[in-house]
């Protein structure tokens, strides 16, 4: 607490954050969710930048019929994100008391179910920023241990608080960057599930240009490469909201593509398959997708050159 790196701003942010968490903990669910919706509306009204990103992304995806539909989806997306935060906190009681099935309907493909529950066998669960990915991880953690990847928050105080709140039996986090290069493979080797959100912009040299709703994005290769080198089943899933503290957890059949023997071809085929299924999810539940994330950023020259080399079908 006495670190000179902790600025007054960090402490002020932490105080507000901590107070909000305590207030949510004490509030009845329906009231907390109504408050979350209002906060979502306020952020939508005041955060010009993220609102603009969301509306632009919705337009680029082509899923909205017109301007009114774009605005409706964008606003609902902001509300959905605020509700995610509240419901993730409120879900603690359900999971601790073993009553989580009261709030979750499962729609798990039989082959995915077998892969996710097979003792001692690791699996890669890929998802996107749709619905409530926190609840998805916790439901999965009732089958077998789950490891998620996290990025440190800018504020070390709130970062510690969030990590403490997230740390639960059978659900642990590993940092996005770490000196231990083999830790993701070790997760799979221990027979655990590695949860990866595959729809984040890849800044590093490991981004691959893949189409998402017809436009190229820089996508992380991790899930596809891990599947190729480890042989662990790669399963796409999501957890969408169906009402207040009600969710549908869905897992699709394990991704299965014919192997060409060429790494780049196989990695791209796997990534295209993941993106294609993710698009289907987003089309089905557009209001629950995190549209405010800058998915379609300008691509680095190396990626533009790669697209040109791959030709018009890329």
Partner 1 sequence: MEDNPVTREEMIDRLRKAMSDSSTEDVDWDSVTEATEIGSLGFDSLSILDLIYEIQREFKIKFAAEEIVKVRTVGHLLDFLQARV
Nearest approach, Cβ of 44 to partner 1 (angstroms)?
35
Nearest approach, Cβ of 204 to partner 1 (angstroms)?
8
* Binding-site member from 33, 91, 193, 225 for partner 1 (CB under 8 A): 225
E-strand ranges in 184-256 read 193-197, 207-212, 215-220, 234-243, 246-251
120 binds partner 1, rule: CB under 8 A? no
236 binds partner 1, rule: CB under 8 A? no
- What share of residues in the chain are helix, strand, coil (percent, to 5)? 50, 20, 30
* Binding-site member from 221, 250, 268, 295 for partner 1 (CB under 8 A): 221
Query: In whole angstroms, what is the distance from residue 208 CA to residue 216 CA?
Result: 9
Region binding partner 1 by CB under 8 A among candidate stretches 8-16, 23-31, 123-131, 184-192: 184-192
Q: What are φ and ψ of residue 62, in 5° steps?
A: 75, 15
Region binding partner 1 by CB under 8 A among candidate stretches 65-73, 157-165, 219-227, 306-314: 219-227
Look at the alpha carbons of 107, 109, 110, 115 in this order and tell me if their dihedral is positive or negative: negative
Nearest approach, Cβ of 216 to partner 1 (angstroms)?
20
Tell me, residue by residue from 246 to 285, as one string, x for binding to partner 1 by CB under 8 A and - for no binding. -----------------x----------------------
* Binding-site member from 8, 97, 181, 312 for partner 1 (CB under 8 A): 181
- Of 292, 298, 276, the closest CA to residue 214 belongs to 276
Query: In whole angstroms, what is the distance from residue 118 CA to residue 39 CA?
Result: 42
Asked if residue 55 lies in contact with residue 76, where contact means CB atoms within 8 angstroms, the answer is no
* Binding-site member from 229, 304, 305, 310 for partner 1 (CB under 8 A): 229
Nearest approach, Cβ of 178 to partner 1 (angstroms)?
7
DSSP state letter for 285: S
206 binds partner 1, rule: CB under 8 A? yes
* Binding-site member from 37, 88, 172, 222 for partner 1 (CB under 8 A): 222
Query: Using CB under 8 A, which residues numbered 141 to 180 contact partner 1?
Result: 177-180
3-state per-residue secondary structure call for 15-60: HHHHHHHHHHHHCCHHHHHHHHHHHHHHHHHHCHHHHHHHHHHHHH
Map tokens 């059978």 to a residue.
170
121 binds partner 1, rule: CB under 8 A? no
Asked if residue 36 lies in contact with residue 245, where contact means CB atoms within 8 angstroms, the answer is no
Map tokens 């691959």 to a residue.
208
Nearest approach, Cβ of 145 to partner 1 (angstroms)?
16
65 binds partner 1, rule: CB under 8 A? no
42 binds partner 1, rule: CB under 8 A? no
* Binding-site member from 6, 228, 299, 307 for partner 1 (CB under 8 A): 228
E-strand ranges in the chain read 104-108, 123-127, 146-150, 171-175, 193-197, 207-212, 215-220, 234-243, 246-251
Region binding partner 1 by CB under 8 A among candidate stretches 56-64, 81-89, 200-208, 291-299: 200-208
Number of residues that bind partner 1 (CB under 8 A): 24
Nearest approach, Cβ of 51 to partner 1 (angstroms)?
33
How many other CB atoms are there within 10 angstroms of residue 107's CB atom? 12
Q: 3-class DSSP state for residue 125?
A: strand
| Interacting residues with partner 1 (CB under 8 A) | 177-186, 188-189, 204-206, 220-222, 225-226, 228-230, 263
């Amino acid at each position: 607490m006495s670190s000179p790196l902790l600025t007054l701003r960090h402490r002020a942010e932490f105080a507000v954050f901590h107070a909000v968490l305590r207030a949510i903990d004490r509030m009845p669910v329906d009231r907390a969710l109504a408050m979350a919706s209002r906060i979502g509306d306020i952020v939508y009204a005041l955060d010009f930048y993220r609102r603009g990103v969301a509306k632009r992304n919705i337009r680029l995806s082509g899923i909205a019929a017109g301007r009114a539909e774009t605005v409706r989806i964008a606003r609902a997306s902001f509300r959905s994100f605020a509700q995610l935060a509240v419901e993730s906190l409120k879900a603690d009681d359900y999971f601790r008391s073993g009553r989580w099935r009261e709030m979750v309907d499962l729609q798990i493909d039989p082959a995915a179910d077998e892969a996710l529950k097979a003792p001692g066998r690791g699996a890669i669960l890929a998802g996107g920023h749709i619905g409530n990915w926190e609840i998805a991880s916790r439901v999965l953690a009732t089958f077998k241990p789950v490891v998620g990847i996290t990025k440190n928050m800018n504020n070390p105080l709130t970062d510690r608080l969030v990590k403490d709140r997230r740390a639960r039996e059978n659900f642990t986090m590993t940092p996005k960057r770490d000196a231990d290069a083999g830790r993701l493979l070790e997760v799979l080797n221990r027979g655990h599930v590695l949860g990866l959100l595959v729809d984040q912009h890849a800044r590093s040299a490991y981004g691959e240009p893949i189409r998402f709703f017809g436009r190229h994005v820089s996508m992380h290769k991790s899930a596809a490469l891990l599947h190729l080198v480890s042989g662990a089943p790669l399963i796409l899933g999501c957890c969408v909201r169906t009402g207040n503290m009600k969710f549908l957890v869905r897992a699709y059949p394990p991704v299965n593509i014919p192997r060409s023997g060429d790494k780049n071809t196989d990695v791209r085929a796997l990534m295209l398959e993941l993106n294609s299924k993710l698009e289907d999810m987003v089309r089905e539940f557009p209001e629950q997708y995190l549209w405010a994330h800058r998915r379609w950023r300008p691509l680095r020259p190396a990626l533009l050159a790669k697209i040109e080399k791959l030709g018009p079908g890329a």
